[in-house]
Structure 1
Amino acid sequence: MTLRPLISAAEALDLFSKNAARFLDASWTFAAGPSALADGFIPRSQRFDIDTIKDETSPLPHMLPDERVFAAHVGALGISASDTVIVWDRYGNFSAPRAWWMFKAMGHNRVAVLDGGLTAWMEAGGPVDDHPALPPERATFYEARLQPDRIADRASVLDAIQTGSHQIADARGAARFYARVPEPRPGMRGGHMPGARHLHYAGIIGDRGQINAQANLFDDAGLDLSEPLITTCGSGVTACILALTAELNGRVARVYDGSWSEWGARDDTPIVTPDA
C-alpha cells in the first residue's frame, strides 16, 4: 500500500503510539540554509544522514547511492522494505523531503514526511528524547529497487531543454536563479537552465514549517502540473520539496540529483544569466 507523501503530527502520533512506523531524523542544513531549529529527537528515531547515505564515488554532494549501498545503510537501521517510514527534520520541511525522495527512488512506497517536523510534533503533544535511538545489533534485510522515472541526470535535463519533453522547476532563490549573487559553492557559474521556471522552495513552506500544497503555486510560476516535470536546486535537496508538493497534486516529478552543483560547475552546459 502506498502512503500519502505528507503526514500530520496527529497521524504520526497515532502510528507512534501503535508502534506501527519507523521514524527517521533526516535533519540537514548548510551555511545558507534555515537557522531556526527545535531541539531533541522523536523517541525511537534514528539518524538518516544524507551526507553519509550517498554515492561515495561521486565528487558531487550527497548523490543518490546505488541500490546495494542504499539497502546496506537502511538495513543497518533495522528497516525492511515493508515498514512504514516517517521522515522528519527539525527545520520543518527542509531536508526530510530529500530522504522521502530517496526512499521513493528506491521503490519504498510506505514513506511519508512529517509535516512541520519536530516543532509540529511537539505542539501536538508528542514526546521528545535528548538523544537519537541506537541502531539495532543486527541489520535487517532490505531490498531496494531503483525507480528511474523519479531521477533525472544531466543528459535527460539537456534533452528536456532541447526537446521540451519536460518542464524544469528551479527551487533556488531568485537572487541565485537570476545570477544576482555569487553561488554559495565556489567555482560555479551563476544563472539558470534555459527554459527553467523559478519556484523558490521557501514559497511552499509556511512560517510554521508546513507544506503549502496548493497547485496554484506551480501555475503562478508558469508550470503545468498536467505535463512532465523535472525539479532542480543547488544540490538536490530542496528540489525534493518541489517533487513532494507536485506528488501531493498527483504528479510524479523527476529530481535532477546533481542539480546546480553539477550544472553550474561545468563549462559545457547552457545557462541563462539575464541580470548578470
Structure 2
Amino acid sequence: MELAGIGSANLRSIPVERARQMDLLALERAIEEDRAAGLHPFLVVATAGTVNSGPSIASKPLPISPVSVASGFPSTVRSALWLFSDELRAKFRGIERSSSLALDFHKWGHVPYDAGFLLVRERELHRQAFAQDVAYLQRTNRGLTKGETWPCDLGPDLSRGSRALKTGMTLRVLGTDAIGRSIAHTCILARYLGERLAGLNEIELKAPVDLNIVCFGIRGMGADDLKRLVLDLHEQGLAAPSWTMIDGELTIRCAIVNHRTTRKDIDVFAGLLSQRILRLGAT
C-alpha cells in the first residue's frame, strides 16, 4: 500500500514497510505539519497493490477514507482494475469511499496500449480543473460544436486517440465477469508459482505473493548473473520474466497477466529455473 500527501509546494511520500500498510498517524502528522507551515495539502493518492512487486493490503480496508474525509480533501486510488474480480474485491474494502479510481485496461484488461481511464465521483469539480476557454474553441447549441463538455474539458490534451472504442468493444465482447475471472486466474497462478519456488532451497521470495506478481532471487547469483539468466530465457524463447529492484537488491520479477497462461506453463518455468540452478551448482 502506498500513500502520498501532496502539498501546494511539496510532495510527501509516507514510508511503507515493503509496501504493506500505510501508517495513518504518519499521514495525519504530515498533513498537520504542512498546514502549520502554510501549505495546503489537497489530495491523498493510494496504490492498491504495487506495480513493482505486487503486494496488496491483504484483507485490511484501504486506509485513505478516514484521513482524507476528515481532512476535507479528496483521495484517489490507482491500479484498480481488479474491482472486476469478486475474489479480489474483498481485499480492498474502503475503495468505495475514494474520490476517484484510475484504471489501466492495457494490463489486466487485455486492451492494446494506451488505455488508461479515470472514474471520478465529482464530475463538475473534474471539469472545472481542466476546462479551457479559448477563442478558437467556441461552444454552440447545435452543429458539430454542440454540447457543454468537450474532450479538452476533461484533461490537458484536446487531440487524443479513441481509447473508449477499443475498451468498450473489449468490455462488450468479453464482459466484466470474464475479465474478473481472468484477473483472479492470474493471481492464483502467481500464488502457485510462489509455492513452487518456495519449495526450492536455492530460491528466496523477495516480496509476499498477494496479487499477480512474483519477485525472487537465487542464492549464489549476483545481479549480473540474474540479468544474464533473464536475458538467456528471453533469447531462447522459453519465458519472459524481467527484473526489478526491491530494497536496493536486484530480483527477478514475474508479472502474470495473460489469460492463456496455465499451471503447465508455471511448471515449465519452475523446471527451467531448477535446471539452471543445478548447472550453477555443478560449476
Task: Report if TM-score (shorter chain) is over 0.5.
Answer: no
Q: Structure 1-normalised TM-score?
A: 0.32
**Structure number with bigger Rg:** 2
Looking at both structures, which has the greater relative contact order when contacts are Cα pairs under 8 Å and sequence separation is at least 6?
1
Q: Structure 2-normalised TM-score?
A: 0.31
